[in-house]
Amino acid sequence: MKPFLVAVAGPSGSGKSHLAHALHDRLGPKFCTLISLDAYYNDLSHIPREERALVNFDHPSAMDAARLAADLESFCSGRPTRIPVYDFASHTRSTEEILHLPRPILIVEGLFAISLAAASCPFDLKIYVEADAEICFARRLARDVVERERDETSVRDAFERFVRPSLATVIEPQKSAANLVLDGTRTEQELIEACLRYLPTAENPPN
């Protein structure tokens, strides 16, 4: 059975990933699968390490859209699907993959979750999470320093060179296609409750 597909898109630091994980936790792993577009960045092992940081990771061209489309079609066919693992410290794809089993709901979260949907497997619910640019930067800085081994100067430089321009050209346009637009500064509970009105439940599963 085709899962109920949910896209959670929005700017870096808007709170989309936090919301997606909170929804997954609320729905439960036996009813919901969550995948992140972060797993689908292109493997840059073929270029010198110092050049990898110059790639604009806030543009769809940095994504392996073909692999994403193939995996979404696999999920839509109800098959167990292996998801790649990406190392942001080195900008390379691991040889490891993570197996996800079919579940009634599939949440796909990431910068371009709405715009990179597979044509043969459209989303049933498209959520766009937004927040002020300064809030997004503060959240991104905290994440990149702790999780991705970056320093504040490099994070700020990337934000001004790549994040702000991409926001206007490729990320915000997804907002017009969304079924639900949420303020990423609202409480987790408020955001979850806003989404649950549109989602199937174990008691009322997708058709």
Q: What is the pLDDT of residue 13?
A: 86
The whole-angstrom separation of Cα 67 and Cα 46 is: 18
Question: Is 15 among the domain residues?
Answer: yes
pLDDT in tens, 15-29: 999 999 999 999 999
Q: Which residue has the higher pLDDT, 155 or 87?
A: 87
Structural domain including 160 reads 4-195
SS3 (DSSP) at 33? strand
Q: What is the pLDDT of residue 141?
A: 80
For the chain, how are helix, strand and coil distributed in percent, rounded to 5?
40, 20, 40
Concatenating the DSSP letter of every residue in 70-110 gives HHHHHHHTT--EEEEEEETTTTEEEEEEEEE---SEEEEES
pLDDT above 90: residue 139: no
Q: What is the domain count for the chain?
A: 1
Residue 164's closest CA among 15, 35, 30, 59? 59
pLDDT in tens, 29-65: 999 999 999 999 999 999 998 898 788 888 999 999 9
Q: What is the pLDDT of residue 162?
A: 83
Question: Is 201 among the domain residues?
Answer: no
pLDDT in tens, 100-124: 999 999 999 999 999 987 767 899 9
Q: What is the pLDDT of residue 203?
A: 65
SS3 (DSSP) at 58? coil
SS3 (DSSP) at 125? strand
Question: Is 207 among the domain residues?
Answer: no
- Left (φ > 0), alpha (ψ -120 to 50) or beta: where does 86 sit? beta
* Structure tokens belonging to residue 149: 């081994």
Question: Is 204 among the domain residues?
Answer: no
pLDDT above 70: residue 207: no
H runs (alpha helix) in 2-92: 16-27, 49-52, 65-76
User: CATH number, domain at 19?
Assistant: 3.40.50.300
pLDDT above 90: residue 165: no
Q: Which of 100-104, 123-127, 142-146 has the lowest mean pLDDT?
A: 142-146
